[in-house]
Chains A and B, each alone.
Chain A
Amino acid sequence: MKKYVFKRVLYSIVAILVLLFLLFLMLDLMPGSPFNDDKLSQEQIEILYQKYGLDDPFFVRYFRYIFSIVKGDFGVSYNIASNVPITQLLETRLPTSIRLGGQAVLLGASLGLLLGLVAALKHNTIFDTIATIISVLGVSLPSYVFALALSYTFGYRLGWFPLLYDSANPFISSVMPTVALSMFSMANIARFTRTEMLEVLRSDYMLLAESKGISGPKLIIRHALRNALIPIITVLGPLIVNTMTGSLVIEKIFSIPGIGELMVRSIQQNDYNVTIALSFIYSLMYIGIMLVVDILYGIIDPRIRLSKEDNHES
């Protein structure tokens, strides 16, 4: 097991280094510069390049960047928040995005599980149909459609929730964004739960459990759901990351000071440092969560760990 975890961690570190290099290279090849105001003279642009060390060769800049990242310094923003250290930009924004993503995942996962369970237990009834319709809608409609529909109904017509995010009232003003953001993961989890549950319910060991006289919630939760959960956890990992990073559109609509909105702007304005720092954080989240899922998977189902180790050795 130790060997397995060690290997996974090592792979992750290599993946991050390769990724940083590719990011750096791609940004270097992008047209334009952070200082693309029409009114800047060539001399001024040169002074700014010197000031930020952008006139150094590619590899000098790359290694300098890697070393400063190791020290926790992501550099300063060039134009979207002139001269402000990126760590300061992230200080308030990262928690906001994580909070929103977290809320959405929590809501999406619990609602999704519930919906999937109902659909599976009431298989081929009207409940199943309704649950399926909801999850198909959730998967196929983009989140901004929900965001607009919620804004119009609950924000504008009914006036229950504010239309814009307000950092002084983070909970009440994050209700609509959370719901809109959770739709996709909810629908996905509902579909997965339904399929898995149906399979488990039809299996022999369920028949055995039932014939042993176990019934009701105990049968469902302990025997059916537990077995159905294993594959669900696997899809939950990428879903969490998707939800966290997918808040981009939602952040724009509800005017939420998160990192998604920052990412878009930094790309549009060639603010290299911000783009790299955010891509790095996104990748770190993705790789980190995948690592945890991988390890968890190994723990939950020893067969997988063993077969993987077999594969490596063969």
Chain B
Amino acid sequence: MKLNKILALILAFVMAISMTACGSDPVDQPVSDNPAQGEDANKEGKILNVHVTAAIDSIDPALTSAGDDFEVIGTMVEGLFQCDAAGAAIPGMAESYSIDENGTWTFNLREAYWSNGDPVTADDFVYAWQRCFSIPAEYVFLFETAGIKNASAILAGEKEISELGVYAVDDRTLVVEFDVPCAFFDSLMFFPVFYPVNRAFAEECGDLYGSAPEYYLSNGPFVLSEYTPAATEFKMVKNETYYDADAVELAGLTYKVILDSQQAYLAYQNGELDVCVLSSELADLLSTDPEFLATESGYLWYMSPNINNEYLANVNIRKAIGKAFDKEAVCNNILRNGSVPADFCIPVGLATGPDGKDYRESSGLTYNEYDVAEAQALWAAGLAELGVDSIELTLIFDDEESVKLVAEFIQQQLQENLAGLTITLQPYPKKQRSDLMKAHDYDIGLCRWGPDYADPLTYLDLWTDGYTHNYGEWHSDEYMEILGKIKTVEYAVDPEARWELIKDAEQIIADESVILPVYQNCNASLIKSDISGIEFHAVGLNRVYKNVKVG
């Protein structure tokens, strides 16, 4: 009998809970008893809770290649230049600079301090840059891209690391010499591999550098306060020694690594997160939410036709394939994360030109737009030129769910719109797909490219002779000549003319349909309505928090 009563009580309790659960509206829920919120209220200023979707591999600028890691490093350390909201380079550690007739840059460093009180010196840059070669950093090739003196020779093993063209004249004067001047050297400088590292401190830390807050120094807006390698949560507080500390409104940042996007969204609604990254399913569901924001990432997804294939060597066939599938449908029906159809080979938001406009805006070029009638005409012409009436091709792609859906859709549309075309789908693990394409052993490959620096060259280089990622082995003397010119001193000092050459180069890629662009990836996020000033970038630092305003 007694047990009956207890059970009845338990049942009543459970029912009461489920009724409150059904009745309460999530919007009205008080979140005051949430620990994260309570903590905020006790401190002066706001701690921003930020969602990242993958754990951080490392915060040592020379040890990582992941975009999220770059963002985290960029939140704490500042290079010679930093990027403004539009992605253009503005002076950071460099207070001023001059370029002499040989193209040598001389930087006057500002009076700035590391978070342990040491001054930031020119030697810290020399040390950090040489360190990238000795480790070696995955992004060390950027020194070669920048054209810094002897970088290529050091990478080829022909010269010593100490011969790199970077010198500390005195504590506040840094000189950089070049083999080939680089027109976008300033915007390269906000990439973490070019950030300074305090020599004395790092040498004392040895292998421990970057493994805990006591083994890491900041010269940027925030300083690490809690961190363990591969942590699921780590914290930063405002760096009071930062030269521009007055401009920083946030009291700190808490990064939360949440792999499960559903859980992240619930946490966002509960106030445990201020910035939440959305999966494509959630992005589709929440795209009308006032706190929803889609930002372009620099990733361009494209199909690479192998020019060694007898059919794909025909430009009409390539064009027909590029035009015969609906890119809008790929973005709106399959990806549904705000991604945009790509009718170009250099993405939106990648680079700002000498005219102050985004490259895409000043170029205005589009090619391979979806047009079934035109595609069919080109297809017929191509078949006639080849003297065949049917073509069989294999499309290879990464063995991932969303990629597979896109590939299946393209296959279905191409076969429907182009009579006589048979596309066989062949998924591979990413590494294997990439190896096959590098060996030019494929027909068509669906792949992507992320920019390494904020200049169209990061894409245009892909189609030059001998480049590892020129998968399809396309070749044009005219294109090689233009790209050669773009990299010369003459054009490095004449940005307007250089920009025109870049447009010419893109025109050739379009005319020849060297790649068949599909879409430019977007990242969808939710940001609390009282937070403003997070700067999103398609290249380099994904998100910048220095100028975040609350309220």
Contact = CB atoms under 8 A, between A and B. Distances in A.
Interface in A222-240: none
B476 interface: no
A43 B260 CA distance: 37
Contacts of B267: 163-164
B33 A255 contact: no
Interface stretch (A83-91, A276-284, A285-293): A83-91
Contacts of B262: 148
A80 B57 contact: yes
B266 interface: yes
A39 B272 contact: no
A112 interface: no
B98 interface: no
A156 B270 contact: yes
Interface in A32-89: 32, 36-41, 43-44, 47-48, 77, 79-84, 88-89
Contacts of B31: 159
Interface residues of B, number: 57
> Main secondary structure on chain A at its contact with chain B?
loop
Given A159-B33, A252-B259, A261-B232, A39 B65 contact: yes
Contact of A83 (B30, B63, B256): B63
A252 B429 contact: no
A37 B140 CA distance: 13
Contacts, number: 139
A122 B7 CA distance: 13
Interface string A134-169: 000000000000001001110111110011111111
Nearest to A76: B207
A41 B429 contact: no
A203 interface: no
B34 A162 contact: yes
A254 interface: yes
Interface in B310-330: none
Contacts of A81: 57-58, 229-230
A101 interface: no
Contact of A162 (B35, B140, B211, B468): B35
Interface stretch (B20-28, B74-82, B480-488): B20-28
Interface string B34-66: 111000000000000000000101101001110
A216 interface: no
A38 B469 CA distance: 9
A110 interface: no
Most interface-central of B24, B31, B256, B270 (chain A CB within 10 A)? B270
A162 B36 contact: yes
B390 interface: no
Contacts of A158: 17, 20-21, 24
Contacts of A151: 263, 266
A241 interface: no
A32 B399 CA distance: 14
Nearest to B231: A257
A173 B270 CA distance: 14
Contact of B140 (A44, A156, A256): A44
Contacts of A77: 229-230
B354 interface: no
A84 to B, nearest CB: 4
Interface string B397-440: 00000000000000000000000000000000111101000000
Contacts of A83: 58, 60, 63, 207
Nearest to A78: B57
B252 to A, nearest CB: 14
A262 B434 CA distance: 26
B439 to A, nearest CB: 13
B139 interface: yes
Contacts of A156: 26, 29, 266, 269-270
19 contacts: A32-B429, A32-B431, A39-B65, A39-B452, A44-B138, A79-B57, A80-B57, A81-B57, A81-B58, A148-B262, A159-B33, A162-B36, A163-B272, A165-B233, A166-B36, A252-B260, A253-B260, A257-B231, A265-B55
